[in-house]
Amino acid sequence: MARKLKALIIAASFLMLIYFVPSANNSVAEDAEIDAQKQFAGATISVEASLVTVELEVLEEITGQLNIETLNSIPLDRIMQIIREDEGGEVSSIVKLAVANESAAEMNTEENAEEKRKVSDEERGEHEERESHVSFRIIPKIIDMNRIAVSFDFKQLASESVLSSESEAEEQDGIVTKFEVSSELVLRPGQPRIVGATKKDKAIFLIMSVDI
């Protein structure tokens, strides 16, 4: 009888241990998050989003066949190297917001650019116009000093039109590109990360970084 009672007590203790250990871990995590909220109650979080375009031919030399899977596997360092060395990539748009912890912020920007160039020695030239409309909305939340959760919506609508003229004849060609990403993820301060990518006439990458 004593042995059976002892076995039951051991079994009950084991079950209690299994039950309380996860609860204790959850409690520690919750306490750490509460402490972080108190510590960074008045903090301002800076969130920057950069839209980068890269020529498809350049990326195909790196990955071979280019699709969405290989596009998302390209290291950020390699993309930034392409831009720095002017190998067929450029930063087309940068937006930056500063907001209090667990607060929402939004901005809308519009950019216009014009370029005129002579195509030949004859009376022929090209006039290129580019427009970009960007909408960026964020809600960041500090988890701890090394992690920030960010809920965001990013939209860009870009258009390019080329006006070609030869004597009195004119022809216009236009391209409209739409890029949109909505997500919620965890970023580390000072560590930029690719948060969205797609392939159109060029490869488009959305790079985001946060700081406190």
Cα-only R_g, the chain: 26
Nearest alpha carbon to residue 210 among 159, 157, 140, 154? 140
CB 161 within 8 A of CB 128: yes
Q: Which two tokens stand for residue 163?
A: 């006006």
Contact 14, 21 (CB under 8 A): no
Q: What is the pLDDT of residue 151?
A: 97
Which residue ranges make up each domain of the chain? Answer: 1-39, 42-211
pLDDT at 127: 65
Per-residue pLDDT of the chain (212 residues; tens, 9 = 90+): 555 544 444 444 444 444 444 544 556 556 666 666 677 778 899 999 999 999 998 888 877 777 777 787 888 999 999 999 888 899 989 999 999 999 999 999 988 766 665 555 555 566 677 788 999 999 999 999 899 999 999 999 988 776 665 544 455 556 778 899 999 999 999 999 999 999 888 899 999 999 98
The answer to whether 38 and 72 are in contact (CB under 8 A) is no
Distance CA 107, CA 99 (A): 12
What pLDDT is attached to residue 30? 61
